[in-house]
Structure formats: structure tokens, C-alpha cells
């Protein structure tokens, strides 16, 4: 099954079937056969110790810094009226050049049945930007709610470890249902219903223009994720991820998996926001030695940071892996 078809299955909530042994390349079979007893438990423990980094991994630090800096740039531009980055994440102008969040633009077009020139320019600009940067990278590198949800997840895991809460999962297909529901609501009501509920837009506007009552909705979502279902909004509801995931289908920036370097510890899947995209890291989960992680991947870098044997890396197709 090719990259595009696997990615579509991930985006719409379907699991990708594991390849049969007949589908596995001879090189991969040889690698799997040669790994039996290749590293002892003590060897792997030593690798983990040597790999461990203080204060999170380098990609986590880079990502948090980038996300905070971008959102603060909106705040500073408005506060000091420097007209560098005007507006909010849903729609903005960078040094006078129009930019429009793709999902917000879709909602506007569906609700008002019109496409004005400035909106078209903003759509094309942002589309090209996120094709280059990897589609769902928007979620983990730009979205302010993603950062709060990430911190809420740490609290959830701390509580779960002590038996205070338990994580409840939902069928991933429900995200497609929500996506279609927001599309229909925009068409029928003539109103951008999702934008009223979107914690991304609410937080972006609150940071720039000041807090409002809508922040209570964001707090309610975070509480639900802390005490009931970790990352529920991003995993099961938010259509922004699906929109940018489709853009990521043609992006040259991907996380790539090297089966030869992998020793199947499973740490990468434990930290991943969308662990289904890393099913290929399970022994027998891939048919090739080198395979790209699907477009539903947020390119957050947590799996790259945590892998002790360097089997997961960022790669810009046609170029070498990123540092």
C-alpha cells in the first residue's frame, strides 16, 4: 500500500493493514532475522541512558520556542502597532501580504458562498507554505491550543500513573463525522460555526486582543482532556488537523522510519499524539527498510527525540535528513 493510500486511511480513521510476509522485501526479512539476539537488554538500557537528554529533546525545545515566538509576534505587532504580523491565526497579513488559515477559509467560503481576491491570495500563500513545511506541522509548531493540550497531557499522565484518572479513547472515525458536520453547518446556516468553537482561534484572539468569556470553553476542553480523555479535541474533533493532513500528502517534509536501526522498544508510540501513524515501527509493520510516516503525522518530533537508536528522523525528500 502506497504512501497516499495509507495516509488517507489514517486521516479518515481507518487502520492500515499489516503487510504480509510475502509483501516484505528480502532486505527487510534479512534485517528482522539478523536482529534476534543482536542487542541484549543491558545493551539497550545503556543506549537509553546515553541518549537521554535533559529538559526534553532538541526538537521539543525547538518546537515550543517556535510556537511561542510566532504567537508572541502577533501580540507584539498589535501592541506596538508595528504592522509586521497583523490579525490572528485564522486570518492575517505578514508585512502587508494576506494569509488565511485553510480550514477557516473553507468555512468562510462555504458559509458566505463567495471567494474574494484577498482570501484567494491568502489561501494560495498558506497552502504553498504548508506544502513546504509538512501540512500538520501547523498543529504542533503553530497552534497555541496544541501547546496547552500537550501540557494538560503531562498532567493527565501524572494523575493516571497514580490511579486518579483513566484515559478513555474514542473511535477515530468520529473526527470525519465532525469534519462533515462543520461543513454542512456552514453551508446550511451561512455561519462559520466551527470558528465559534475553535480553541485555536479563541486562544489566538485572546492573546492578541485580550481574554473573553470564550476562554471558559477552552478551559472546559482542557479539563475534559486532563480528567477523561487525553488530547480528545485534537484526536477526535478538530477539522484543522484533517485539512492540513490533506495538504501534507504532497509535502516533501516527512518523518522517515529506518527498520534496520529500530529495535522495537515502542517508546515512540507512547509519546506520539497520533500513534496509529507509527504502527509501521512495530515488528512486521512495514514492507520496506525505509518508509515515510503518513501525512496524519504532526511532525512534532517527539518520536525523533525519544528513539534511542535514531530510527526515526526528519527528512526533506531529495535531501539528507534534517539536523
pLDDT per residue as tens digits for the range 33-45: 876 556 556 666 6
Q: What is the pTM of this model?
A: 0.91
What is the pLDDT of the chain when averaged over all its residues? 91
Instruction: At 116, list the grid cell.
Output: 474574494
Output the pLDDT for position 199: 97
Picking from 203, 296, 233, 217, the residue whose alpha carbon sits closest to that of residue 14 is 296
C-alpha atoms less than 13 angstroms from C-alpha of 165 in its C-beta half-sphere? 20
Mean of pLDDT values over 154-173 = 96
What SS3 state is found at 315?
strand
Output the pLDDT for position 241: 94
Work out the angle between the directed axes of helices 199-209 and 215-227 (0-180°, nearest 10). 130
Output the pLDDT for position 111: 96
What SS3 state is found at 141?
helix
| Residue 297 backbone zone (phi > 0: left; psi -120 to 50: alpha; other: beta) | beta
Number of CB atoms found within 10 A of residue 50's CB: 8
Output the pLDDT for position 43: 60
Output the pLDDT for position 175: 96
The whole-angstrom separation of Cα 94 and Cα 170 is: 39
Q: Please check whether residue 255 is in contact with residue 293, taking contact to mean a CB–CB distance below 8 angstroms.
A: yes
Q: Is the pLDDT of residue 55 over 80?
A: no
Output the pLDDT for position 48: 57
Mean of pLDDT values over 131-148 = 95
Does 228 or 51 have the greater pLDDT score?
Answer: 228
Q: Is the pLDDT of residue 309 over 70?
A: yes
Output the pLDDT for position 178: 97
Output the pLDDT for position 34: 74
The whole-angstrom separation of Cα 139 and Cα 312 is: 20
Does 2 or 161 have the greater pLDDT score?
Answer: 161
Instruction: Kindly state the DSSP code that residue 273 receives in the 8-state scheme.
Output: S
Q: Residue 21: pLDDT band by 50, 70, 90 thresholds?
A: confident
Output the pLDDT for position 44: 61
The whole-angstrom separation of Cα 153 and Cα 37 is: 36
What SS3 state is found at 323?
coil
Instruction: At 188, list the grid cell.
Output: 446550511
Sheet harboring 290-292: ordered strands across?
290-292, 253-258, 312-316
The beta-carbon contacts of 128-133 under 8 Å, at least 24 apart in sequence, are 129/99, 130/102, 130/244, 130/247, 130/248, 130/251, 131/247, 131/250, 131/251, 132/251, 132/252, 132/253, 133/251, 133/253
99 pairs with which residues across the strands?
92
For CA atoms 231, 235, 238, 243, the dihedral sign is positive
Amino acid at each position: 500500500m502506497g504512501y497516499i493510500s495509507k495516509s488517507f486511511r489514517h486521516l479518515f480513521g481507518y487502520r492500515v493493514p499489516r503487510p504480509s510476509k510475502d509483501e516484505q522485501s528480502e532486505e527487510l526479512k534479512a534485517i528482522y532475522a539478523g536482529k534476534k539476539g543482536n542487542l541484549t537488554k543491558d545493551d539497550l538500557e545503556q543506549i537509553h541512558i546515553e541518549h537521554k537528554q535533559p529538559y526534553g529533546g532538541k526538537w521539543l525545545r525547538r518546537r515550543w520556542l517556535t510556537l511561542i515566538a510566532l504567537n508572541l509576534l502577533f501580540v507584539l505587532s498589535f501592541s506596538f502597532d508595528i504592522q509586521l504580523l497583523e490579525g490572528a491565526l485564522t486570518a492575517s497579513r505578514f508585512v502587508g501580504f494576506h494569509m488565511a488559515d485553510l480550514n477557516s477559509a473553507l468555512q468562510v467560503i462555504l458559509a458566505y458562498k463567495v471567494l474574494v481576491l484577498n482570501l484567494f491570495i491568502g489561501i494560495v500563500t498558506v497552502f504553498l507554505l504548508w506544502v513546504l513545511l509538512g501540512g500538520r506541522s501547523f498543529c504542533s509548531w503553530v497552534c497555541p491550543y496544541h501547546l496547552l493540550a500537550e501540557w494538560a497531557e503531562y498532567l493527565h499522565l501524572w494523575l493516571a500513573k497514580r490511579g486518579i484518572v483513566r484515559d478513555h479513547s474514542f473511535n477515530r472515525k468520529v473526527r470525519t463525522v465532525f469534519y462533515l458536520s462543520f461543513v454542512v453547518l456552514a453551508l446550511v446556516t451561512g455561519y462559520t460555526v466551527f470558528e465559534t468553537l475553535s480553541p485555536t482561534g479563541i486562544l489566538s484572539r485572546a492573546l492578541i486582543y485580550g481574554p473573553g468569556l470564550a476562554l471558559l470553553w477552552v478551559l472546559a476542553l482542557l479539563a475534559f482532556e486532563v480528567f477523561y480523555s487525553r488530547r480528545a479535541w485534537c484526536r477526535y474533533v478538530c477539522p484543522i488537523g484533517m485539512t492540513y493532513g490533506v495538504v501534507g500528502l504532497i509535502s516533501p517534509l516527512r518523518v522517515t522510519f529506518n527498520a534496520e536501526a529500530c529495535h522495537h522498544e515502542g517508546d515512540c508510540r507512547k509519546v506520539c499524539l497520533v500513534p496509529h501513524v507509527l504502527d509501521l515501527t512495530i515488528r512486521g509493520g512495514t514492507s520496506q527498510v525505509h518508509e515515510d510516516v503518513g501525512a496524519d503525522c504532526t511532525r512534532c518530533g517527539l518520536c525523533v527525540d525519544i528513539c534511542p537508536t535514531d530510527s526515526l528522523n526528519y527528512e526533506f525528500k531529495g535531501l539528507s535528513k534534517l539536523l
